[in-house]
Amino acid sequence: MISKREGTLGPARVIARIAACLLCLSAAPLLAAPGEQGPYDSGLNVKKALAEAQARAASGGKLVMVVFGANWCTDCLVLHRSLENGATRDYALRNFEFVDVDVGKFDRNLDVARHLGVNLNKGIPAAVFLDGAGHPVAATNEGELESSRKYPPEQILKFLRGVVEQRKVEFPDHSGKN
């Protein structure tokens, strides 16, 4: 037990504090080092990137996944990492063209989000899925991806399958069950 001026912490509280510390430490490698570029490029010409992604999607029979996020956002970085993981990556590359849109500190590209019908009020990351012609198919306007750190890559894969196969967005199951 850990001593404290008012008394001691029980084993459950010690374990909870250790778990909280480990969670913070596990997120640290996700954050971009000073001077290192994360997945969200503040200098990206979003309109050009969208047009190019739509053209590739149209010719390849894919959807465009436009992800609104920021390099300071742990959930955004976790989602990005999940999309680059094994089976999730393979499925995503077969079915999507990606555009990562930097929202800064909610002071960049908000007009793009509004134009595409994306509600950022529920948090980031947020995504909209477009067909090759640029028409919205589905969006995460209820914060479905906002807690991405809770979802293992397998649940992100299941989420993506729902978008592709049913053209709908549902909250991923954070239990890890498929």
Question: Predicted confidence band at 132 (pLDDT cuts at 50, 70, 90)?
Answer: confident
Q: What does the pLDDT read at residue 34?
A: 45
pLDDT at 171: 72
Question: What per-residue confidence (pLDDT) applies to 166?
Answer: 81
Structure tokens at 20: 């909280």
Per-residue model confidence (pLDDT) at position 95: 97
For the entire predicted model, the pTM comes to: 0.77
Tell me the average pLDDT of the chain. Answer: 82
Query: Which one is predicted more confidently, 28 or 165?
Result: 165
Mean pLDDT, to the nearest integer, of 145-166? 92
Q: Is the pLDDT of residue 169 over 50?
A: yes
**Rounded distance between C-alpha atoms, residue 126 and residue 35, angstroms:** 25
What value does the mean pLDDT take over residues 99-108?
97
Judge whether 176 and 155 are in contact, CB under 8 Å: yes
Higher pLDDT, 21 or 112: 112
The answer on pLDDT for 55 being more than 60 is yes
pLDDT band at 170 (very low <50, low <70, confident <90, very high): confident
Return all residues near 164 (Cβ < 8 A) that are at least 6 apart: 63, 95
Distance CA(46)–CA(174), nearest Å, equals: 31
pLDDT at 3 over 70: no
List, for residues 57-90, the tens digit of each pLDDT value: 999 999 999 999 999 999 999 999 999 989 999 9
- pLDDT > 50? residue 18: no
CATH 3.40.30.10 fits 46-166, yes or no: yes
Number of neighbours of residue 76 by Cβ within 10 angstroms = 29
**What does the DSSP assignment read for the chain?**
--EETTEE--HHHHHHHHHHHHHHHHHGGGSPPTT---SS-TT--HHHHHHHHHHHHHHHT-EEEEEEE-TT-HHHHHHHHHHTSHHHHHHHHHHEEEEEEE-TTTTSSHHHHHHTT---TT-SSEEEEE-TTS-EEEE-TT-TTTTGGGS-HHHHHHHHHHHHHHS---PPPTT---
